[in-house]
Amino acid sequence: MSSTDVAGRDVAESGREGLGSRARSVVRREAAQPGNWVLCAAMLVATLVGAQTSRFFSVDNGKAILVSTGTIGIAALGVTLIMVCGGLVSLAVGETAAVAGMVFLFSLDLGLVAALVAAMAVAAAATALQGAMVGAWQANPIILTIAVASILTAVGARLTSKAAVQPASDAYETLNRTPWGVPVVVFALLGLTVAVQALMTATKVGRYMYAVGENRAAARAAGLPIASTVIVAFAVAGALMAVSGAFSASTSHTITLLGASQLTFNATAAVLAGGTAIFGGFGSAVRTLFGALLIATVTDLLLLRGADLGMQILVKGLLVLLVVLLGHLRTSRVGA
Amino acid sequence: MNGRLQVLRRSTSLLPLLALTVTVVAFACLPAYAGRPLETYDLFNLFEAFAHIGLITLGFGLLLTAGEFDLSIVGIFALSGVIAVKLGQDHPLLGVLAALSVCLAFGALQGLLIAVLRIASMPVTVGTYIALLGLTRVVGDNQTSVTFDNLDTTLWIQEPVATIFSPRSLLVLAVFGLAAVLFSATRWGRELRALGGDRKATRTAGVPVNRRLVALFAVSSLLGGVAGALSSFNAGAAITDPGSAPLTLGAAGALIGGVAVAGGRGNVLGIFAGAMSIVILGQIFFVAGVEEFYSDLVFGLVLLLIVAINAPSAKDWAVRLRAARHPPVSTSSSSTGPRPTTRKQRQDARTHAAATAHPPAHPPPSRGGVPGQPDHLPDR
């Protein structure tokens, strides 16, 4: 409810006072988000800690952060779509990306583009079905994706016979290139961020996503096509998870289901840290871009300072908890 | 007789009963396709497997009945196992006590947070679930497992009692028995369902909602903690990453047990039957030598199916589909005929109503829906 109120006031103000005040009110609105302050503070702390950490400010480390921002961020863009339209979180992000990555590696002999398309199609089909269940039937998305994770784990184990997957050709090396010294995945992330942002704000179905996530009953009463909106959001999300899976398969030249949950945790934490509302109706691709950068930086810092995997997971879990609590306090104060 | 039929017809008791009957029959018929007769140790294994996931299922089920969701129980399961093993090498009881106090404190704190802030438990427990998995690794020195060197305890806890039980499975069954008595003989059972059915009305009726919620989350964590400590003592090692199996099996067991995802429905006996069905299914796969990925697949599909059945709009959707396929022949009496479910039918009904005058004093009652809410507008 809060964001429509704010948006409505924006329109009124900009009509009266012109574009300058509109820009100011956008700034004011963004400044009123405690999530933004948390994000800025976390970035600042990360940079300060980075200054104390040897090897943090180096070209190689910068590149490493960017690569992991890329794989986390692309999957997180998908999670953003799911979250904005009211689908909460998916607990099968890592599994979807891993199985799609397997499809990608298997079909590489058809060429890079065909393999990417195949992986995206498989993942999008799987998530579109989930979208149909969430959109048309209001199935519980968390328990649904727990089931999907189990099914995909089985499918993945079947596909690979639990051995490391061998790429069908080395066409994937294109994805590992670094034109002008910047990894391809970074360009992919930036391009996809712009594309998803455009989808969410400049198209009809994108604006429906916000409406459905904001208030499903109202969207229904208004006659919006809820089911197809949610299906589109989930399908695009699946395709994005597949792209993320293809990139991580290329970086490590293989892919396994081991540690698939890491991507799930990272992507969820990135979207929430960016400030997208967990119950939907508010959020953006650009927010997620910054969230992914933060998560990748924090992971890198913890690694450089000798923190092990357990500490990394712990920090991300606490971050998710903190953001959820802050988001709740904000909305309940506005509501009161 | 009629009353009993009514009870059976309610899906709360029908689904768990049906699932349990089918799986028990399938288990009894195992020799026909497994190629060997059933032995007593198959039953022993069955109860051991039940001891592994039974309490997690109970925790899931109780909280879902109360309209809450506790994902963190799986994180607590892992953490408790590691703490109990690390501190219990010499004095196992001390280790269990330490682990359970941590679980109890965590659960109560989480419950307090959720109750006082009136925040949705699902996102909160997603966060604590991730954090607890991380903490478990930290406490477990980032090893995949922490070995339990106290062999005597491990041998004692899995020693057969009355051929088919062990101290562990007896303890878990006792917890189920205690919970069944507590939640049917006292008012807690009704309060539990009331909490999940209508939180506001429950508060108005004088139930100390916050106290109940704190207690429930504490109990849920305690159940996860007991399960974790017992399982790691039994296996002789604590696994730091429990994987997704406890989550899938626990949720599937609770939902097959007749617990509604939306809350307000469920009882301990049903949850017992649900957990037992899942465990028997797993044992059937095990005895028949089915490969692991098939069992993962089947459990996932079972959970998928049960979530679909539980989805609030799935029934409306099916009704609409059927109505679209078999349009009603007669439109003479709108009060006794089938509810107009497609857009065309509603248009027909409207023109019909307009023609026969007499506007209805009240809108037609919506089936179980909140009055005044448009619960039959189609999602197009």
ipTM for the predicted complex comes to 0.84
What distance in Å separates the CA atoms of residue B248 and residue A149, rounded to the nearest whole number? 9
The reported pLDDT for the residue numbered B12 is 59
Average pLDDT for B96-124? 92
CATH classification of the domain holding A183: 1.10.3470
Identify from A91, A140, A257, A265 which residue to disrupt to test chain B contact, counting B C-beta atoms within 10 A and taking the largest count. A140
Residue A13: what pLDDT?
Answer: 43
Looking at chain A, the whole-number percentage of residues with pLDDT higher than 70 is 88
pLDDT tens figures, A39-81: 787 778 888 787 777 777 888 888 888 989 999 999 999 999 9
Mark out the alpha helices in chain B (DSSP H runs).
2-9, 11-28, 30-34, 40-65, 72-87, 92-117, 121-139, 151-157, 167-185, 188-197, 199-204, 209-235, 245-256, 268-287, 292-310, 314-325, 343-355
Distance CA A70, CA A292 (A): 8
- How many domains, chain A? 1
CB atoms within 10 A of CB A218: 13
Residues B216 and B321 placed together within one structural domain of the fold? no
- Is B366 part of the contact surface with chain A (CB cutoff 8 Å)? no
CA B12 to chain centre: 12
Measured between CB atoms, which of B131, B251, B373 is closest to A143? B251
Check whether residue B303 and residue B335 sit in a common domain: no
Question: What range does the domain containing B319 cover?
Answer: 315-355
Do B173 and B40 have their domain in common? yes
Domain of B7, CATH number, reads 1.10.3470
Name the token pair of B254: 């609770």
pTM of the model: 0.82
Q: Please check whether residues B53 and B23 belong to one and the same domain.
A: yes
Q: Do B296 and A153 touch (CB under 8 A)?
A: yes
Distance of CA B329 to the CA centre of its chain: 43
Q: Any CB–CB contact under 8 A between B294 and chain A? A: yes
Predicted pLDDT of residue B43: 87
> According to the per-residue pLDDT averaged within each range, which of A17-31, B214-228, B279-293 is highest?
B214-228
- Does B242 lie in the same domain as B161? yes
**End position of a domain, from candidates B291, B312, B333:** B312
A321, B131 Cβ separation under 8 angstroms: yes
pLDDT tens per residue, range A125-181: 999 999 999 988 888 898 999 999 999 988 888 888 767 777 777 777 777 777 887
Are B132 and A317 an interchain contact pair (Cβ–Cβ within 8 Å)?
yes
pLDDT confidence band for A282 (50 / 70 / 90): confident
Return the residue matching tokens 């008012």.
B187
Collapsing DSSP to helix, strand or coil, A164 comes out as coil
3-state secondary structure of A229: helix
Closest-CA distance, A286 to chain B, in angstroms, reads: 22
Give how far Cα B122 sits from Cα of A160, A260, A328, Å: 33, 21, 12
What's the domain range around A77?
61-335
Most confident of A27-41, A91-105, B22-36, B198-212: A91-105
Instruction: Band the pLDDT of A277: cuts 50, 70, 90.
Output: confident
Residue B62: is its pLDDT beyond 50? Answer: yes
Asked if B120's CB is within 8 angstroms of A314's CB, the reply is no
Q: Is residue B205 part of a domain?
A: yes
Nearest to B307 among A144, A265, A324 (CB): A144
What amino acid occupies position A304? L
Q: What gap in Å lies between CA B54 and CA B275, rounded to an integer?
A: 6
Of B255, B280, B312, at which residue does a domain stop?
B312
B287 in the same domain as B324: no
Q: Do A317 and B133 touch (CB under 8 A)?
A: yes
* Residue B96 confidence class, pLDDT cut points 50, 70, 90: very high
Chain B residues with CB under 8 Å of A279 CB are 120, 123
Residues B299 and B328 in one domain: no
Q: Which of A138, A153, A324 sits opposite B313 (nearest CB)?
A: A138
Q: How many domains does chain B have?
A: 2
